[in-house]
Amino acid sequence: MGTPTLDLAVGVASASLDNGLKQLHTGHRDLLRGDRSEVVSGVQYSLSWDLREPPRISLGAPDPARWEKTWKQAGVSALPSSGLVQLVMPELWLRWAPERGAPRELSCSVAVPARLLAADGALRVELLGVWMETPPADGNDRTLLRRVLVPRLLKLGGDLLKRLGLSAERIFGRSVDLTLVLVDVTDRHLVVAAASQPGSGSASALDWPSDKEVFCLASPALVKTLVGAAAQREADKRARVVDAKETVAGVAEATLQAYFHGLRNLRVDARDPARLTAGVDIAWKGGVTIFPIAPGVGCALVEATQNM
């Protein structure tokens, strides 16, 4: 995997991330629209919004012109150097109106730039601000949007981005203790990586596959743990893997049963974790039943000998 500190790494291209956001947009429309009233400069305003097109993920930092026009979070000035993504909302519809005033509408593209990083074993999302393609020119209108809409867009962006974390709590019926230690954003993939030991890895030292839409890399130690756990789970079922019966009419009946008890000496190739060797622990049980000679009938073995 390029570094011994990582046990599992999953990389997902932006197109696959976008498919998940499309499903969310289709199935949970109520989460992506809303309305609110707010007083600005002594005037009561009503505001409605609707995310009419599915959001998408843009990997990497916003360009300098966009960043300059972004309404930045308090304390944010310069862009971080790593882990940058943008949650892009291609069509956000807005409608607002002052009390007893004419309503106004706006439909434009909006983006929420953020930094993703691993912190305390979990995915942390640092929201940097909100960019609007065509913000209103009126000062009160801009104040309304910044006071009411921007916090909700930031919360929505944070909730959606937090879903990108890696969960490996239970795999193959066994608890696997893995801690998220690394988040890496390349020009093609969002990569999250976990390790069995706390700590962090350096993203700059890693060379991820670039020709896959989705990839999953596992260390030999993790592969051994998962395969061993899966084998033990099957062994615990105590199910028969062989159940055979053969009968020689009038002479005998033979039975054979086999039970899988697990793997022995499981080894995983350190250079190719897909190559495994192991001994198979099988318990065999068999028996032969000789049928008794019926009254008045001679022994079959004797008759066969006499006829030779």
Spell out the per-residue pLDDT of the chain, length 308, in tens: 444 478 888 899 999 999 988 988 888 888 888 898 888 888 899 999 999 999 999 999 999 999 999 999 999 989 999 999 999 999 999 999 988 889 999 999 999 999 999 888 888 999 999 999 999 888 888 888 888 889 988 988 888 888 776 555 544 445 567 788 889 999 999 998 888 776 544 444 468 888 889 888 888 888 888 788 778 888 888 888 888 888 877 778 888 888 888 888 888 887 777 788 888 888 888 888 877 665 555 444 444 433 33
CA distance 162 to 18: 14
Q: What is the pLDDT of residue 165?
A: 65
Q: What angle do CA 164, 166, 170 make, to 5 degrees?
A: 140
Q: What is the pLDDT of residue 71?
A: 93
Classify the C-alpha dihedral 73-79-84-88 as positive or negative. positive
CA distance 13 to 118: 19
Nearest one of 133, 85, 127 to 110, comparing CA atoms: 133
Q: What is the pLDDT of residue 176?
A: 67
CA distance 291 to 253: 8
CA distance 251 to 40: 100
**Residue 261 phi, psi dihedral angles, 5° rounding:** -110, 0
CA distance 241 to 161: 46
CA distance 78 to 128: 10
CA distance 171 to 176: 7
Residue 294 has, within 13 A of its CA and on its CB side, a CA count of 3
Quote the DSSP letter at residue 14.
Answer: H
Per-residue CA distances from 41 to 2, 35, 139 (Å): 58, 19, 10
Residue 37 CB: number of other CB atoms within 10 A? 11
Q: What is the pLDDT of residue 205?
A: 47
